[in-house]
Amino acid sequence: MDEMEQMLSTLPLLKHLELHTECATDLVDGFRWESASHDLVTLNFYFIVHLDNVEQTLDSFRTCYWLTEKRWFVAYKRKRFFSIPYFGKTSVSMGFRRHVISTATNDQICFDRITELESSASTAHINHYFPNVRTLKLNDVCHFKTISSIIPLNEITHLILSYWITSWTMISYCVEQMPSLHTLSVMNNSSELLECKQSIYFKQIKTLHIDAQWPLNVIDRIEELGRCFPSVEHLHATSHCSSIFVRMIDGFKHLSNGSFMFTGVSEIQRKDWSVKPEWAIYGARRLRVGKFTCRFSEPYIYVWIDEQVGRFQK
């Protein structure tokens, strides 16, 4: 701490300080930091340090200077001593348990930092509110009445579905409750989308992630996905078959860029696509007219179409 105090004394105009380091215990002394940090507007640190007496150390950061004047709070967990909410978690599971010891007067300061919530039916009992959650991950069918009581559904921009979906009608209802939603990730049985009723479509989705294997018997129907998602501009998909990606490019009429991950690339394909990446998506009708470019970076083929091409080439 002596060296830190000496350094700060030579920087009288310093207003914002952020520190990341492994340190000795003398650097986590709240009393000495009071005089050293008095002229700072912001101070955030992340120290790797072993503490024998955690509460005694935290007490030095519980003075009026820290809690009232500066409103700077700290926490300790597993040899990590850090500022909160700055270095606090940004994602949690609904079944999480608070395992950090902190100087915060209540936990809401940390809940306000959470931007991603992972939820499942078995962990739906929680009485906290997370006002800044924008990404919602569902691991199971959930009651949206419960979820809406802990996060602002109307502010959700990204929905991740990681369970086996049996009712796309329910998902359609879910999406309707999220007017700000523009990104959807489907991590399992995406092929069931092809069985959706004609009345089910997701017009507000601009970015679509599909992480699923497609049976060969649905290849000829892949373009129907464009009906379910008529506004998709950005696509991220996984398959072992280039024909799947070709039909996706043709099916999504407003697609401007896509990243396609191959689950298996042969040695011949690797050599060919390294020289001519467009061969991986040969046959796409949409690419016969207009401009496009693509790049192969195993296991991905990246495609930019029309106006996106100029932006990529600059």
- Whether residue 195 is found in the same domain as residue 54: no
Question: Do 159 and 174 touch, CB atoms closer than 8 A?
Answer: yes
Tokens representing residue 253 in the block: 């009429």
- Whether residue 193 is found in the same domain as residue 223: yes
The domain of 28 spans 2-91
**Residue that wins the pLDDT comparison between 22 and 170:** 22
- Whether residue 41 is found in the same domain as residue 158: no
The sign of the CA dihedral 148, 150, 155, 160 is negative
Identify the domain boundary among 59, 91, 123: 91
- Whether residue 50 is found in the same domain as residue 23: yes
Residue 233 has pLDDT above 80, yes or no: yes
Q: DSSP letter string over 95-158? A: T-----EE--SSTHHHHTT--EEEE-GGG-------TT--EEEESS---HHHHHTTS-GGG--E
Give CA angle at 115 (141, 22), nearest 5°.
125
Identify the domain boundary among 91, 122, 148: 91
Burial 165-195 (b: 16+ CB within 10 A, else e): beebeebbebbeebeebbbbbbbeebbebbe
Quick: pLDDT tens for 78-90: 999 999 999 988 9
- Whether residue 131 is found in the same domain as residue 68: no
**Which residue is associated with the tokens 């999220």?**
178
- Whether residue 128 is found in the same domain as residue 227: yes
Q: How far apart are CA 69 and CA 2, in angstroms?
A: 24
**Residue that wins the pLDDT comparison between 182 and 98:** 182
Per-residue DSSP letter, 43: E
Mean pLDDT of the chain: 88
- Whether residue 177 is found in the same domain as residue 290: yes
Quick: pLDDT tens for 130-164: 999 999 998 877 767 778 888 999 999 999 988 87
Percent of the chain with pLDDT over 70: 89
> What integer pLDDT is reported at residue 307 of this predicted model?
63
Q: How far apart are CA 55 and CA 74, in angstroms?
A: 12
- Whether residue 32 is found in the same domain as residue 133: no
- Whether residue 227 is found in the same domain as residue 288: yes
Quick: pLDDT tens for 34-74: 999 999 999 999 999 999 999 999 999 999 999 999 999 99
Residue 186: which CATH number? Answer: 3.80.10
Query: Could you give the number of structural domains in the chain?
Result: 2
The pTM for the full model equals 0.84
- Whether residue 121 is found in the same domain as residue 186: yes
Quick: pLDDT tens for 274-310: 999 999 999 999 888 878 999 999 999 999 998 654 4
- Whether residue 17 is found in the same domain as residue 157: no
- Whether residue 136 is found in the same domain as residue 198: yes
Identify the domain boundary among 91, 114, 142: 91
Give CA angle at 272 (271, 275), nearest 5°.
90
Q: How far apart are CA 73 and CA 263, in angstroms?
A: 46
